[in-house]
Amino acid sequence: MNLWREVMLVAGKDLRIEARSRVTLYQVLPFGLIVVLLFAFALDPSRGVLARVAPGLFWVAVLLAALLAVSRSFQVETENAARDGLRLSGLDPAAVFLGKAGAIAVQLAVLEVALGAGVAFLYDVELRSVGLLVAAAVAATAGVAATGTLYGVLAAGLRVRETLVPLLLLPVVAPVMLGATRAWEAGLGRAASDGWPWVALLALFATLYTSIGMLAFGSLLEEA
Amino acid sequence: MREDALLHRRVATVVGWAALVSLAVLAVLGLWVAPPDAVQRDAQRLMYLHVPAAWLAYLAFGVTALGSALYLWRRTRSPVWDRIAGASAEIGVVFTALTLVLGSLWGRPVWGIWWAWDARLVTTAVLFFLYVGYLALRRIPGPGRATRCAIAALIAFVDVPIVHFSVDWWRTLHQEGTVFNDELKAQIHGTMAFTLFWGVLAFTLVFVYLLDKRYRLEALEEGRDERELEQAIAERVASGETGPGGAADLVDSGAPR
Amino acid sequence: MTDAGYVVTGWVLTAVVLAGYWASIARRTRRARRTLPPDRTPAPPGETPEP
């Protein structure tokens, strides 16, 4: 089986599990929306404060939700010796990595559409350049999904997985936070500077960590 | 050498004393011999510690990354590199924290603020958290520890320049960088430059000494963990032979598995 | 605090941290040596049988 088919196989498995269990839809998505709501309690909803910081708050909410999505992605592999199954399946580890990261990315994309609508609705923002917003979101999501999958498998067999992965993941994806927010500020008409260079940075990050993931996933799966 | 170490014991002692003496000399140079700076006045004297500490924070991280890479590469795989990586990381986190605190102590009298959002400070803060994550990972025992930690170290190492670049670019766009950059790039001459150089030298000796010392500890603890594991296995086997429910019992009684 | 106050704080803190960290390694090393059986040389890795 070629790489692409294996990737689809793994991603399809994860997405089918989600379709049946609906954990991302009924738990992670509401969590994201609650975070968006909480920010409004923490900050001043009047006087345009929320509208100004909306891009940043959106991406913080996405990042926190991503932690749950990553955790869930590897939670499903703990039952029925599923990890052993992956190891013994003969699938290329790089394909397993891409498949799992891809499934996380798809779920995050759905999340982002919903959270984006929530933010636009609650924080009163205008869409200036949709192309920029989408490009930035795709690149940022790919980067977060790749890095999350990498740390997810690294911590897969460990008891302290739940508290460890956030600590490991968040500092590393700080540049994604930075770039995505700056790009969205430009895309929502809230910054004078160009957002596209930030998209390039996000794409670089995504490419780099996807490559690392493809190389390292095999060794990490062996140890998990 | 009966203990596994990086330096011969006598060499380590010499390095240790050299480090101590050079630190004492640094204190004399930094607190007395070097003149106060024209702009920063006496607060400049904190630079003689802050810059070397920052150098060490990043050097230690480099050593951890190098050790991790050499451990992962099959041709050089050895527990020595894993121990070096782990030892260097602990030293690094201490010096990163020290760098941040000294930076704040310097920033308050000179800039009037405890913290600033420029690339150098933010990257060092992120570095601190990357270290903390690595050390948290290191505390988890098991046969896969070395590989896990090594990959985590390299993931983090690759991230540091990205963080620095992106924050730098961000602050340049906001044009707040200029004031800080100008002051930090100010030319320093003569005694002050020499003292700074001496500080870097002294701290490097401190690093080598501490690395060897911490490495020995790492090797000892590994040995202890292995002995504890052997003991636990031996106990389990022994109890299996005499206690109820042991495999030997089942075999003797002919009970079906 | 005067400038001198910050400087002194920084230098004293550095000395305390360096000494304290060194002492921490020393203390942990002593403890590790105590719990090791009389033969000081740790068993080389790879000889421990898999459970």
Model pTM?
0.88
A133: confidence class by pLDDT, cuts 50, 70, 90: very high
Asked whether the beta carbons of B218 and B6 are under 8 A apart, the reply is no
> Which stretches of chain B drop beneath a pLDDT of 70?
1-3, 174-187, 241-257
**For residue B132, which residues of chain A lie inside 8 Å, CB to CB?**
167
Q: Is B136 in the A-facing interface, judged by CB distances under 8 Å?
A: yes
CA-based max dimension of chain A: 58
Number of helical (H) and strand (E) elements in chain B, helices listed first: 8, 0
Q: What is the C-alpha to C-alpha distance for residues B23 and A115, in angstroms, rounded to an integer?
A: 55
Contacts A67 to B, Cβ<8 Å: none
DSSP SS3 for B179: helix
Instruction: Name residue B37's beta-bridge partners.
Output: B41
Q: What count of CB pairs under 8 Å joins A to B?
A: 74
What residue in B sits closest to A210 (Cα-Cα)?
A: B155
Of B46, B98, B101, the CB nearest to C7: B46
User: Cβ of B227 and C36 within 8 Å?
Assistant: yes
As beta bridge partners, residue B231 has none
Report pLDDT digits (tens) over A168-200.
999 999 999 999 999 999 988 877 788 999 999
Q: How many CB atoms are closer than 10 A to CB B166?
A: 25
Residue B41 near chain C (CB below 8 Å) = yes
Q: Which residue bears the tokens 């951890």?
A: B64
Domains of chain B listed by start with CATH number: 9-231 (1.20.120)
**Which DSSP letter does residue C44 get?**
P
Percent of chain C residues topping a pLDDT of 70: 69
| Mean pLDDT, range A57-61, rounded to an integer | 94
List of residues 6+ apart from B106 with CB closer than 8 A:
B43, B46, B47, B50, C6, C10
Model confidence over C1-51: pLDDT tens digits?
Answer: 788 899 999 999 999 999 999 999 999 999 988 876 655 455 555 544 444
Position B243 scores a pLDDT of: 52
Among A122-131, A156-165, B43-52, B213-222, whose mean pLDDT is lowest? A122-131
- CA distances C27 to A9, B17, B136, B213, C34, Å, are 53, 19, 21, 11, 11
Task: Please give the pLDDT value at position B81.
Answer: 96
The DSSP 8-state label assigned to residue A80 in this structure reads G
Chains B, A in contact: 3+ Cβ pairs under 8 A? yes
Once rounded to an integer, what is the mean pLDDT over residues A155-171?
Answer: 93
DSSP per position, A99-124: HHHHHHHHHHHHHHHHHHHHHHHHHT
| Residue-range definition of the domain harbouring residue A182 | 3-223
Q: Which string of b and e fits B244-255 if b means at least 16 CB within 10 Å?
A: eebeeeeeeeee
| Rounded alpha-carbon distances, angstroms, from residue C45 to A17, A52, B92, B219 | 41, 58, 26, 11
Binary contact (B147, A220; C-beta < 8 A): yes
CB B163 within 8 A of CB B126: yes
Beta partners for residue B41, in sequence order: B37
Number of domains in chain A: 1
Measured CA to CA, the distance from residue A35 to residue A14 in angstroms comes to 25
Confidence of residue A48 (pLDDT cuts 50, 70, 90): confident
Residues of C with CB under 8 A from a CB of B: 1, 3-4, 6-7, 9-11, 13-14, 17-18, 21-22, 25-26, 28-29, 32-33, 35-37, 40-43, 45, 48-49, 51
Six-digit token pair at B44? 């400049």
Confirm or reject contact between B220 and chain C (CB < 8 A).
yes
Give the model confidence (pLDDT) of B86-101 as tens digits: 999 999 999 999 999 9
